[in-house]
Amino acid sequence: MTVNKELATFAGGCFWCMVEPFDQRPGIYEVISGYTGGTTENPTYEEVCTNTTGHREAVQIAFDPEIMPYKKLVETFWQQIDPTDAGGQFHDRGESYQTAIFYHTEEQRLIAEQSKQELAASGKFNKPIVTPILPAVTFYPAEDAHQNYYKKQSFHYNLYKKGSGRADFIQENWKKPKNIQALKEKLTPMQYEVTQKNGTEPPFQNEYWNHFQEGIYVDIVSGEVLFSSKDKFDAHCGWPSFTKPIDGHQIVEETDRSHGMFRTEVRSKEGDSHLGHVFPDGPTEHGGLRYCINSAAIRFIPIEKMEEKGYAEYLYLFK
């Protein structure tokens, strides 16, 4: 089988924080932390941190553009950074922490330029968008200790992302405000109770608990893609159950101590809808997880309607 692979390179400040947003997403083969844009050959972390090499900390992503379009990668990149900061990112200052999009093809340059113009025109930021778009040059992988840091040192990574100011900036600038009245008008009473008040619908008395038609399930509020019928199974619990989400980055997991229990709540990223919970009692041959989801929180799109409804890019799941 022919592998369709392209490279994307982004500098977004500390490269520890630029791996997680792209890693393990559909169509992503690999995300490498490294250095690029400077003159020093084979630089070390210590050398780059002196801000004398001309290099910026960056990530290089190998991806399949048919599954994960470059435009979507660029959109993800903007949502991780402060594009109005020319002197670094958050608490990290100096040229090694400056942002940039390094394009590998003319098509990538055009997509990046258009995306930058759209961001500037959106009015989201009241200062100019200063992130440059530059031709890709030699990329030097960083030392092993810096690869997949968010996995290897998850506790320290989360403290750093919060302490540096990045996490709060992302939350403040990219979380969509809710219109409660509009939601009450759009949703049924049960859908509102589940998604907005963390409710739970009755087992075996909901729309999708025993539904196995081919297609995808999206957030009832935002329409963001969540689960595939390919990963659905009968857990005999009375609610729709899945072994994994289509894209883990569209799912937010939070600790839930309500009702005297200790559980992991599952929410949608864009819609901020309560979806259900995830438990470690799923099929071991598929990772051992069970995403127990309320039917009232999701909407089913059958495979034959996916293109019509704007979800054609996810048809690859069924090839």
Domain ends where: 133, 151, 174?
Answer: 174
Q: Nearest to residue 243, comparing CAs of 182, 179, 293, 303?
A: 293
Q: Of 58, 45, 66, 81, whose CA–CA distance to 10 is shortest?
A: 58
pLDDT at 270 over 60: yes
pLDDT digits (tens, 9 = 90+) for 139-188: 999 999 999 999 999 889 989 999 999 999 998 898 878 899 999 999 99
Give the H or E element holding residue 44: none
Note whether 203 and 115 are same-domain residues. Answer: no
Residue 151's alpha-carbon distances to 16, 20, 156, 255, 291, in angstroms, are 10, 9, 10, 19, 21
- Backbone torsions φ then ψ of 134, nearest 5 degrees: -125, 155
Residues 294 and 240 in one domain: yes
Q: Are residues 103 and 208 in the same domain?
A: no
pLDDT tens, 65-92?
999 999 999 999 999 999 999 999 999 9
Is residue 40 assigned to a domain? yes
60: left (phi over 0), alpha (psi -120 to 50) or beta: beta
- State the total domains in the chain: 2
Which of residues 140, 174, 208 is at a domain's end? 174
**Containing structural domain, residue 256:** 180-318
Q: State the catalytic residue, choosing from 14, 17, 49, 237.
A: 14
Rounded-to-integer distance, Cα 224 and Cα 39, Å: 42
- Confirm whether 1 is domain-assigned: no
- What is the structure's pLDDT at 260? 84
Mark whether 191 and 103 lie in a shared domain.
Answer: no
Assess whether 134 and 186 both reside in one domain: no
Q: Are 168 and 184 part of one and the same domain?
A: no
What's the order of all strands across the beta sheet hosting 263-268?
A: 232-233, 241-242, 290-293, 274-279, 263-268, 251-256
Q: Last residue of a domain, which of 158, 174, 190?
A: 174
The CATH number of whichever domain residue 69 belongs to comes to 3.30.1060.10
Query: Could you tell me if 10 and 119 lie in one domain?
Result: yes
User: Is 147 part of a structural domain of the chain?
Assistant: yes
Asked if 17 is an active-site residue, the reply is no
The position carrying tokens 């409710």 is 199
- Strand 290-293 and strand 274-279: the pairing is antiparallel
| Whether residues 219 and 305 fall in one domain | yes
What number is the average pLDDT over the span 37-48? Answer: 96
Which pLDDT does position 206 carry in this prediction?
97
Q: What are phi and psi of 61, to 5 degrees?
A: -115, 125
Residue 179 · residue 276 · CB < 8 Å? no
Q: Do residues 32 and 168 share a domain?
A: yes
Select which of 17, 49, 237, 292 is catalytic: 292
Phi, psi torsion values for 238, nearest 5 degrees:
95, 5
27 and 158 both lie in a single domain: yes
Q: Is the pLDDT of residue 109 over 90?
A: yes
94 and 29, same structural domain? yes
Residue 14 is among the residues annotated as catalytic for this protein: yes
Q: Is the dihedral of CA 6, 142, 102, 119 positive or negative?
A: positive
Q: Which pLDDT value is given to residue 198?
A: 95
Strands (E), 154-268: 215-219, 225-228, 232-233, 241-242, 251-256, 263-268
| Contact in structure between 213 and 229 (CB atoms under 8 Å) | yes
Q: Are residues 29 and 95 in the same domain?
A: yes
What CA–CA distance (Å, rounded) separates 126 from 107?
Answer: 29
Q: Is residue 76 part of a domain?
A: yes
